[in-house]
Amino acid sequence: MFPEKLLKQIDFIKEIDKIKYIQRKTKLFNSDRNENDAEHSWHLAVMAIVLAEHSNEAIDVLKVVKMVLIHDIVEIDAGDIFIYDTQKSHDNTDEERLAANRIFGLLPEEQAQDFIKIWEEFEAGETNEAKFAKSMDRLEPLLQNTSNNGGTWKEFDVKYDKVYEKKSVIKEGSKHIWDYAEKLIDESVEKGILNK
């Protein structure tokens, strides 16, 4: 009655609705409500479109948008790992690989492989598009924490060195945005919302 391909795509669309329930540690701008993964991904996609001209290198903006929209879908199974977590690495994990295979595997084979390839490219962070996508992923929580008087930095006693280390990835995608981010980090120390 309906093409099998369409039914698989609909099943995938239903499954990824679960991303709306994955709560992040970071709170919305000027808010005490935690952001969810769907809000985060949407925000990064718009940021990528708006800020693309500041990329260090020429990029395929649509590819960056795809990366930021799907990069956290694996968290439906693997959960969100706080970037400053001291117990578990924020880097790609075996759980995320299993999640990518299961969730993207709901799609027709060709689409599944395309999504996995884009997800892997983002995780590796080596292409111009992945570097810029990661810049967006690191910039958004920085902007949120500065709008929330330190936000998760204060809540989890995250120090300047750790913030600087994690956020310095931004410069790989955009030196201009990194200059802005570095200024925000330094101002956060001056304001007392980020401790050395």
Dump pLDDT digits (tens) for 133-173. 999 999 999 999 999 999 999 999 999 999 999 999 999 99
Which 3-state string (H, E, C) describes the chain? CCCHHHHHHHHHHHHHHHHHHCEEEEECCCCCCEEEHHHHHHHHHHHHHHHHHHCCCCCCHHHHHHHHHHCCCCHHHHCCCCCCCCCCCCCCCHHHHHHHHHHHCCCCHHHHHHHHHHHHHHHHCCCHHHHHHHHHHHHHHHHHHHHCCCHHHHHCCCEHHHHHHHHCCHHHHCHHHHHHHHHHHHHHHHHCCCEC
- Strand-pair partners of 23: 36
Report the b/e string of 55-89 with b at 16+ CB within 10 A.
Answer: bbeebebebbbbbbbbbbbbbbbbebbbbbeeeee
The letter for the amino acid at 13 is: I
Query: What is the pLDDT, as a whole number, of residue 94?
Result: 84
Query: What is the pLDDT, as a whole number, of residue 80?
Result: 83
pLDDT tens for 43-102 read 999 999 999 999 999 999 999 999 999 999 999 999 887 777 666 555 657 889 999 999
pLDDT-based confidence at residue 1 (cuts at 50, 70, 90):
confident
Q: CA torsion 144→38→44→189, rounded to 10°?
A: 20
pLDDT tens for 12-55 read 999 999 999 999 999 999 999 999 999 999 999 999 999 999 99
pLDDT-based confidence at residue 11 (cuts at 50, 70, 90):
very high
**What's the mean pLDDT when you consider all of the chain?**
94
pLDDT tens for 120-132 read 999 999 999 999 9
Residue appearing with tokens 């795809």 = 66
Q: Rounded distance, CA 173 to CA 176, Å?
A: 9
Query: What is the pLDDT, as a whole number, of residue 144?
Result: 96
- State percent of the chain over pLDDT 70: 96
Supply the pTM of this predicted model.
0.94
The letter for the amino acid at 194 is: L
Please name which of 7, 116, 103 lies closest in space to residue 66, comparing C-alpha atoms: 116
∠ CA 122-161-188, nearest 5°, is 95
